[in-house]
C-alpha cells in the first residue's frame, strides 16, 4: 500500500495529512497542524520560515511506512538563493507593503494590458513580478547576489532533495510566466531590466523531483522518500478534485483566506474585457487553464472578529459569531471590499467610512456588521460570475465550494441564492486531497484522474444547497451594482 504525506501550506496555517487507498476509498489522517504569523522586522514582513521548515521536518521524521511526500502552498511568494545554494534572506510575505512600489515601477515601463496579454494574470501588487522589482529597488545588494529564484513549494522541494525545479502551476501565479508556451517570460524580464537567468527549469505536475536521501536539511532522518511536484499551487491542487475539472457547467469556489471563483477553459482568456474585469488565468492540474478571480475571502471576517474582540474585551467563538450572523437583519449594508487594503486598515473603521461615503445606513448590531461582510462577499461573487459568463458566452448551472468556507452552511445558502445556482459544498481539505491524489496518481494507484475523482467523490461527505430566495438577492444586487465597479 502506498502511503503518502501532503504538506498543505496556507497563508495562516500549514497541515500535514497522510493519505492512502483502502478498499477503494481514499483515507486521510491529519498528523500536523501549525498556525503561523507574519513577522515584522526592519519594516519588512516575513514568513516564520524556520518554524515552518522545522515543523515539516519533524512531521516527516515522525511517520513510518511513507512512500512519498509533496508540498502545495499559496501563490506568488518565493525565496532567493545565492551561488552556494543558500537562502539570501528569509522569504518575504506577499502582504509586505513595499511591493506596491514595485508595481508602480513596472507600471511606468509597460502598459498593464500588454502585461496581461503576456502573462494572463490579474494585475495585483502582490504578484511575484512586482515583488521582484521591489526587491531590486529596495535591497540592491541582495538582488545582485541572487543566483536562483524558487517559488515557495519549489524551495521546499529543493531543501528536501537538493534539486531545483519550477513546477508550472505555481510558476503561473508569478506574472512572469508564458501560459501558452509554459515557459518563463524572459522577454518581459529583459524589458524590465530584471535578471532573467535566475529561474529553474519548468516541470509538469506529477513529476519526480528527487529523494530525501539527498536532503539539505540536516535534521531530516526519514531519508528514503520520493518527492513529487504535484500541482503545487494550492488552488490548482484543490480544483483538480472538483466536479469543475470534468463538468463544463460547473464553477469552482475555493473559499478560505482568499476566495477564488471561476471555471476551466481550453486556452487562456487574454481579451481586453477579461483584463478590465480583473479576471486571471493560471495553469491548473495537467495543464488545464483556470479562468477566475482572486477576491479577499474569509480573512476579512476573521479580521473583523479580531477587532470586535479588542473592542468588546471578549472574543466570540465561531458558533457565537455564526449565530449572530444568522439572526441579523439582511442587507443592512454593502461594502465594496476591493476598494480597500484591509490588511493595513481597520475593518470596522473602513466599513463605517464606506457606508458614510455611499449614503447607506450604519449597521446597528454586531450581527449586522458580521452579516454584511458575508453579503458583500456574495455580491462580489455575483459580479464575477456575471463577468465570466458574459466573456465566455457560457452560463453555468452549479458551483462546487471547497476549502474551509465549504463548512459554513449559512454562507453556502447565501451563495446558492445570490448566484441562483446549485451549490455543492466539500471537501473542506481539498488542497491536501488534491496533493495526495497527485502523488498517488504518480505512483500508479489509479489509471486516470477520472478514477481518482470517483474515489474522492465516494470517500467524503458533500452537502447540496439549492436556491431558496434568488429574487431578493437580484433585487438587492440591482440597488448596489453601481458600487461594484
Active site positions, annotated: 234
First to last CA, the chain: 53
Alpha-helix runs per DSSP H in 81-151: 99-109, 112-119, 128-138, 140-145
Q: Is 235 exposed, middle or buried (0-12, 13-18, 19+ CB in 10 A)?
A: buried
* Radius of gyration of the chain measured on its C-alpha atoms: 22
- Cα–Cα dist 318/427, whole Å: 20
| Dihedral angle sign, alpha carbons of residues 178, 297, 481, 350 | negative
DSSP annotation string for 235-264: HHHHHTTSGGGT-TTEEEEEESSEEEEEEE
> At which residue does the C-alpha cell 475523482 appear?
453
β-partners of residue 133 are: none
Alpha-helix runs per DSSP H in 202-317: 234-239, 272-276, 298-312
Alpha-helix runs per DSSP H in 162-207: 168-171, 186-191
β-partners of residue 15 are: 8, 33
> At which residue does the C-alpha cell 445558502 appear?
413
Q: Is 65 exposed, middle or buried (0-12, 13-18, 19+ CB in 10 A)?
A: exposed
> At which residue does the C-alpha cell 502545495 appear?
72
Q: Of 247, 275, 251, give the one whose Cα is nearest residue 262.
A: 251
Question: Are 347 and 303 a contacting pair, CB within 8 Å?
Answer: yes
Q: Of 408, 58, 2, give the one whose Cα is nearest residue 220.
A: 58
Q: Of 109, 105, 84, 70, give the one whose Cα is nearest residue 228.
A: 70
Question: Are 458 and 260 a contacting pair, CB within 8 Å?
Answer: no
The DSSP output letter for 233 is B
Q: Supply 246's cell numbers.
A: 470534468
> Treating both helix axes as pointing N-terminal to C-terminal, what angle do 409-419 and 470-480 enclose, rounded to 10 degrees?
70
Amino acid at each position: 500500500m502506498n502511503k503518502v504525506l501532503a504538506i498543505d501550506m496556507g497563508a495562516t496555517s500549514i497541515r500535514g495529512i497522510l493519505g492512502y487507498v483502502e478498499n477503494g476509498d481514499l483515507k486521510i489522517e491529519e498528523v500536523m497542524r501549525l498556525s503561523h504569523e507574519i513577522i515584522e522586522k526592519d519594516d519588512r514582513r516575513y514568513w516564520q520560515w524556520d518554524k515552518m521548515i522545522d515543523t515539516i521536518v519533524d512531521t516527516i521524521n515522525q511517520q513510518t511506512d511513507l512512500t512519498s511526500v509533496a508540498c502545495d502552498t499559496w501563490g506568488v511568494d518565493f525565496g532567493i538563493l545565492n551561488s552556494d545554494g543558500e537562502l539570501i534572506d528569509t522569504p518575504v510575505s506577499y502582504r509586505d507593503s513595499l511591493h506596491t512600489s514595485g508595481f508602480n515601477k513596472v507600471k511606468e515601463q509597460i502598459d498593464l494590458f500588454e502585461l496581461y496579454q503576456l502573462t494572463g494574470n490579474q494585475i495585483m501588487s502582490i504578484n511575484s513580478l512586482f515583488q521582484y522589482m521591489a526587491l531590486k529597488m529596495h535591497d540592491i545588494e541582495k538582488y545582485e547576489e541572487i543566483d536562483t529564484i524558487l517559488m515557495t513549494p519549489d524551495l521546499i522541494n529543493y531543501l528536501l532533495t537538493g534539486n531545483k525545479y519550477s513546477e508550472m502551476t505555481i510558476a503561473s501565479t508569478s506574472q512572469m510566466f508564458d501560459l501558452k508556451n509554459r515557459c518563463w517570460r524572459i522577454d518581459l524580464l529583459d524589458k524590465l531590466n530584471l535578471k532573467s537567468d535566475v529561474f529553474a527549469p519548468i516541470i509538469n505536475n506529477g513529476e519526480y523531483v528527487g529523494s530525501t536521501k539527498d536532503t539539505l536539511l540536516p535534521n531530516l532522518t526519514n531519508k528514503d522518500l520520493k518527492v513529487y511536484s504535484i500541482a503545487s499551487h494550492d488552488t490548482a491542487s484543490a480544483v483538480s478534485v472538483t466536479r469543475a475539472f470534468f463538468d463544463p457547467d460547473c464553477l469552482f469556489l475555493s473559499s478560505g483566506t482568499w476566495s477564488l471563483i471561476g471555471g476551466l477553459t481550453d486556452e487562456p482568456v487574454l481579451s481586453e474585457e477579461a483584463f478590465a474585469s480583473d479576471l486571471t488565468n493560471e495553469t491548473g492540474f495537467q495543464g488545464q487553464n483556470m479562468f477566475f478571480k482572486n477576491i479577499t475571502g474569509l480573512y476579512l471576517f476573521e479580521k473583523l472578529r479580531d477587532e470586535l474582540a479588542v473592542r468588546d474585551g471578549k472574543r466570540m467563538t465561531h458558533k457565537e459569531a455564526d449565530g449572530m450572523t444568522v439572526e441579523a437583519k439582511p442587507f443592512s449594508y454593502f461594502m465594496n471590499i476591493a476598494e480597500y487594503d484591509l490588511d493595513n486598515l481597520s475593518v470596522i473603521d473602513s466599513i463605517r467610512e464606506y457606508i458614510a461615503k455611499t449614503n447607506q445606513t450604519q449597521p446597528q448590531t454586531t450581527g449586522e456588521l458580521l452579516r454584511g461582510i458575508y453579503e458583500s462577499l456574495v455580491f462580489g461573487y455575483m459580479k464575477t460570475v456575471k463577468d465570466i459568463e458574459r466573456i465566455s458566452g457560457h452560463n453555468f448551472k452549479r458551483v462546487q465550494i471547497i476549502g474551509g468556507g465549504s463548512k459554513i452552511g449559512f454562507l453556502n445558502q447565501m451563495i446558492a441564492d445570490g448566484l441562483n445556482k446549485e451549490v455543492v459544498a466539500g471537501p473542506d481539505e481539498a488542497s491536501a486531497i488534491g496533493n495526495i491524489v497527485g502523488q498517488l496518481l504518480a505512483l500508479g494507484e489509479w489509471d486516470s484522474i477520472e478514477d481518482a475523482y470517483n474515489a474522492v467523490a465516494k470517500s467524503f461527505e458533500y452537502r447540496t444547497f439549492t436556491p431558496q430566495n434568488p429574487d431578493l438577492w437580484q433585487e438587492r444586487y440591482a440597488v448596489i451594482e453601481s458600487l461594484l465597479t
